[in-house]
Amino acid sequence: MEEARRDPFAEEGARARRALVREIEAYGALREPVWRAAFAAVPRHLFVPSYYVAGPAGYERRWSGDPDPARRTRWLRGAYRDLALATRVRDGELLSSASQPSLMAKMLEALDVRDGHDVLEIGAGTGYHAALLCHRLGDAHVTTVDLDEEIAESARAHLAAAGYRPAVLTRDGARGCPERAPYDRIVATCAVPSVPYAWLAQCRPDARILTPLSTGLLVLAVRDRDRAEGRFLAGSAYFVALRGSAARTPRPRTAGVPRRVYEDEGFQFLTGLAGDRLDLREALSLWQRERRPERERFGVTVSGGRQWAWLDDPEGPYAWPLPEL
């Protein structure tokens, strides 16, 4: 890891990582020593040499090469805050971001990887998430893909600078990466409208898939290439949407719903999950009748070429088909 030893921010970065690990632990994650060690070892600042901070006058760029020492310090400290960071912005649109570290820790622990597992990551981003997987499993067991060649190349460079060399490929994430299958785990770092069937087809039996869907994190247990089922984790999760063949623009849904209800993130999760398959008045009625159901009461079943979301019971009265990709 010659590149890491030449890093001028190595010493200060190590101190900042120790503080970040303590902050993530206070959040309630990093219960497993292997992940605590990964977050303590992987230098996040090498994966965000520049990022953008929203302000009243638009986005402000912070970067490691800033000639002003005070601004360089702000960049480094910001790289180790427990926040998501905007890394690519084009015409005011967020294209790519570095996820909040505590949320990453929650996802990695829920993924439940074991020694020898092969993992496919959908959405290379900065490469930081893949680096954490590499630290845990070894480079040969990690594949990460991104639709954007520029993002994939940037992630590849960041990973190499930190001493990691997994397979980083330019692919449509909805189609997975069949040439390196099968996988024991698939994890997406971008939101999907439904579960791509290609992912199941590339999994080993008893695999696990973790993906953002609506504004929650879905964990699926894969039985075989035709069936998977699972529930959402507690808490909200907001990710940039998957681009490519699975991209879908949600339709605004506000008519007839009180503002205080519509702005409730739990209600937004329900309407994002049900989409056009549930009338807004029906969604409001369900929301009130079930006393604002938490995310972990919801789940998804994929079976026999169809998939549906549900509340409490896959065969119960509250179920909605997810869109075909």
Number of helices (H), then strands (E), belonging to the chain: the values are 11, 14
99 in catalytic set: no
Q: One of 96, 97, 99, 214 is an active-site residue; which one?
A: 96
Name the pairing type of β-strands 183-188 and 203-213: parallel
d(CA 68, CA 237): 35
Q: Which two tokens stand for residue 310?
A: 């549900």
d(CA 280, CA 154): 42
Nearest by Cα to 135 from 99, 100, 108, 156 = 108
Angle at 108 between CA 165 and CA 100, to 5 degrees: 90
d(CA 233, CA 286): 20
CB atoms within 10 A of CB 149: 10
The catalytic residues are 96
